[in-house]
Structures are given as structure tokens and as C-alpha cells.
Amino acid sequence: MTQIQFITHATDRFGYVDGARMALEGGCRWVQLRMKGATDAEVLAAAAEIQPLCRQHEALFVIDDRVHLAKQIKADGVHLGKNDMPVDEARRVLGEEFIIGGTANTFEDIERLYRQGADYIGCGPFRFTTTKQNLAPIVGLEGYFTIVNRMRAAGIPLPVVAIGGICYDDIPAIIRTGVRGIAVSGAVLNAADPVAEMRRMIDA
């Protein structure tokens, strides 16, 4: 069973809460509330609906970027990129109980995040995607294979989640590189039946 983190995104068919609900119904047990450009009030309103759904499904609920909101609503954690609060500062704010994920594009990014105390790595993009603007260079299968091997050689035990344009057919090859799981958004939201697609990915 593949460990999958669903990243919320609004489309012309579904809002943020719809996506989270469908991912959970499809068996996903890790939802990240990502609402780029939204106000804190808008994020809190979506979290007020999604966080109880995650609890009902015994799923992890993490917030993208916003450390103060993650603390305020007692989310399970936060995901931080290079332009967000540094992981070590977020750890001082949140403490050891929160999951803190960090974004990496290179092994050197992972070394830095490991030193700062991240609990997991979101590494990508696997391929081009329109879900995130200003993409870092494409990592690809070879990139994951190299990064995982360099992590092993360096004794860095952090779980790596691949992200960026990932669809069902990519999962076996990505997992064979040694990464622990994947993060997805569009492949589920743009499917004819998002719940069934999430279930198919979970069972991959």
C-alpha cells in the first residue's frame, strides 16, 4: 500500500473541502491544506471543515506554509518551503509534537532540512505541473534514485515524499527509487471519479 499525501487545490469542479473529502473517502490518510493566495480567514474556514473530516478518518492533517495557523488550530503539522519560516524556527514555535515537513529539490536541500530538524521531505517536482507556480528544476526518476542513495550514504533517515505531476502509472517506478511515499493533487482532482482514483493510487 502506497503512502499518499493529498494536497488540496481548487479546480473548476471542486473546492478545497470537496477535494479533501474525496481523498479521505478514497482511503487517503494524510491531507495537506494548501491554499495559495488565500487569507488566513479563508484557510481557517476550510480547516474548520477539513480537520474534523481528517479526525473522523483517523488521517493526518497538515497546513502548508502557515505555522501560526497550524499552532492555532492544533493541526498535526505544517509543510514549509524555501520561502517560508525556516524549519528550526518553526520547531521552536510548535515544539516536538508537530510534524514539520520541508521542501527539497536537491540532496543539499535535504541535508539542510535534516540539520534543521524536519520530520519528512517533500521532494520534487517529479515532472512539470501547473498546480504549483515557479517550479524548481525537474527531479525525475533518476533524481530520486540519486538523492535516496546519497541520503543512505550520508545516514540521513528522513522519509521522502515525491511530488509534482504524479499520476497512477508513475507510482511503481517512483517507489522503486526508494522514496517512502508520494504527494498528489491534480491526478485525483482531474479524474472522472476522484474517489475511485485515490483508491486506485492507495492500492497501487
Ligand X SMILES: Cc1ncc(COP(=O)(O)OP(=O)(O)O)c(N)n1
Q: Given the rule CB under 6 A, which of 14-22, 45-53, 90-98, 127-135 is the region that contacts ligand TZP?
A: 127-135
The Cα 91–Cα 114 span in angstroms is: 12
Output the smallest distance, CB 25 to ligand X, in A: 21
| Contact predicate 99/117, CB 8 Å | no
Instruction: Closer to ligand TZP by CB, 77 or 125: give it.
Output: 125
Confirm if 59 and 76 have CB atoms less than 8 A apart.
no
Asked whether position 166 contacts ligand TZP by CB under 6 A, the answer is yes
Whose Cβ is closer to Mg ion: residue 34's or residue 57's? 34
CA distance 63 to 52: 14
The minimum distance between CB 136 and ligand TZP, in angstroms, equals 8
Residue 166 near residue 142 (C-beta atoms within 8 A): no
CA atoms within 13 A on the CB side of 54: 26
Q: Which residues inside 34-73 make contact with Mg ion, applying CB under 5 A?
A: 65
CB of residue 25 to ligand TZP, shortest distance in Å: 18
165: partner contacted, choices Mg ion, ligand X, ligand TZP, none (Cβ within 5-8 A by kind): ligand TZP
CA-angle at 68, arms to 19 and 18, nearest 5°? 10
Cα dihedral 149, 150, 153, 158 in deg (nearest 10): -90
Which residues are documented as binding site? 32-36, 64-65, 84, 103, 129-132, 165
Chain positions contacting ligand TZP, by CB under 6 A: 7, 124-125, 129, 131-132, 163-166, 184-187
Which residues are documented as binding site for Mg(2+)? 65, 84
